[in-house]
Chain A
Amino acid sequence: MKTLQPLKQPRPVAVETDESGEPVAVVLGGRRLAVVQVQDVWRIDDEWWREEVSRLYYHLLLEDGQVVTVYRDLLKDEWWRQSY
């Protein structure tokens, strides 16, 4: 039987935040990488008709030069990494 495997599934990630809740560092592969720049921030509230989704996305430039997209699940207060 054919099965659908969704792509770009979010993965849990450890994110350090400051007092205001903004990310200051991300732990990737056991390494703590400081956030050099927040390139973009956007919020998605969707799918209230099934399982409600409320996410705050960050597009971050890390100290090693890589750019990652993470989001905070505003309903569960959890951090996730996701290719956008």
Chain B
Amino acid sequence: MRIACILIPHFPVAVERQRDPALRGRPVVIGETADQRKAVLDCSPEAEAQGVRVGMPLRQALALCREALFLPPHPSLYRDVFESVLEALEGFSPEVEESALGRAYLNVAGLAPHYEGELDMGERMIRSLRDATGLVASAGIAEGKFVAWTAAVTSEPGQVCTVPAGKEAEFLYPLDVSLLPAAPDTLRRLELYGLHTMRDLAALTLGPLQSQFGSEGKRLWELAQGVDKEALRPRRQEEVLVESMRFSAAAVSVEALVVACRRLLVRLHWRLRGRAARCLRLRAILWGGRSWEKSVTFHEAIIDWERMLFIAKSVLANTMLPGPVEELTIELSGITEERGRQATLFAERAGMRQELGEAVRQLRARWGRPLVSQVVEVEPWSRLPERRHALIDYEP
């Protein structure tokens, strides 16, 4: 199947540079996170050249690249921009897979005749993305996701690389094995064995490779020859209900946010029209333009806005927001008809118990002494009947 890979490398950095052109050409590291797990989320090629890597502790990144500009992440913004990317791509193919931020795959089988060939199709995609988001992507078109990705990643920004069917191995052989999707340790071992290019790897027989690397070895051996059986997983078109509220003065207290949540959820409840939601996402734009978000997947689809509020409240109460909130957004997704709900087995009994408790309290208040008793087990195993059970004042 012909697959196109659209790649915007270092997507968060690309979005930040789009917002602030002064960042272009400077080493940039994005990394401060709201929950204080301080790790590098993304970095520019300039920082990467100095040894900074994604996932590395920020302290280490700072030691490696002192002149880098460290920026807080804006996850909501990156998601919004990538959503625009995906929407633009859906104009070309209905089957678009959202692989990672800045990377998408499209099923383009049979689409080339609508354009002046695959190259033209890829160029139009890149142009379309530039018009929609201002970002410059590269594209690779080939049989299978891995070859398409390799074609995209080895292309210059704004360029398209197509690999004709049957020429995958020829295309891949000169390339470095570090492009393979393998754990760093595996890649290091491949280098130690003197396997530097895809050709080196493909030249081996499967047996020795499998004995060293197990099933991963087989997969890498196949990929090195351009054999990729991984299917495209198109994203589902699903309804997402969104409501936002802007604060006149940035909110700092959880109480203010809960009030806002209540209003947003009431609005969303009306828009649900009797349906239930499975996921809730809280998004906030913070003072200074930073953003924060948190998603919650419910145990069961919820229709009741008060239950959603309870969950949102507990999320807010347990989260240290990294700044005052200027705008709060709630998204509901996983919209579904409420088909069945697991009821509590003794819900009715619990209600009866409550009523009974209230009646007992009233009786006690009226007569000034306990009038209702309950039977409790004392020594149920005893052979003497008077030892087995006893009466005790009923406490509601």
Contact = CB atoms under 8 A, between A and B. Distances in A.
A46 interface: yes
Nearest to A83: B385
Given A44-B384, A82-B386, 13 more contacts: A3-B393, A5-B392, A6-B378, A6-B387, A7-B375, A7-B386, A7-B389, A7-B390, A8-B385, A8-B386, A44-B383, A46-B382, A47-B384
A12 interface: no
B391 interface: yes
Contacts of B386: 6-10, 82
10 contacts: A3-B392, A5-B390, A6-B378, A6-B386, A6-B387, A7-B375, A7-B390, A44-B384, A46-B384, A83-B385
Interface string A33-63: 0000000000010110000010000000000
A8 B377 CA distance: 13
Contacts of A10: 386
A4 B391 contact: yes
Nearest to B395: A2
A83 B384 CA distance: 10
Most chain B CB within a 10 A radius of its CB, from A3, A4, A7, A53: A7
Given A4-B378, A6-B378, A7-B375, A53 B390 contact: no
Contacts of B387: 6
B84 interface: no
Interface string A1-42: 011111111100000000000000000000000000000000
A83 B389 CA distance: 12
B373 interface: yes
Nearest to A4: B390
B388 interface: yes
Contact of A2 (B375, B378, B393): B393
A9 B388 CA distance: 10
Contacts of A9: 386
B373 A5 contact: yes
Most chain A CB within a 10 A radius of its CB, from B373, B378, B384, B391: B384
A69 to B, nearest CB: 9
A36 B395 CA distance: 45
Contacts of A83: 385
Contacts of A7: 375, 385-386, 388-391
Contacts of B391: 4-5, 7
Contacts of A4: 376, 378, 390-392
B387 to A, nearest CB: 7
Contacts of B385: 7-8, 82-84
Contacts of B384: 44, 46-47, 53
Contacts of A84: 385
Contacts of B376: 4
Contacts of B389: 6-8
A46 B385 CA distance: 12
Nearest to B382: A46
Nearest to B375: A7
A9 B383 CA distance: 13
Interface in B355-396: 373, 375-376, 378, 382-393, 395
B382 to A, nearest CB: 8
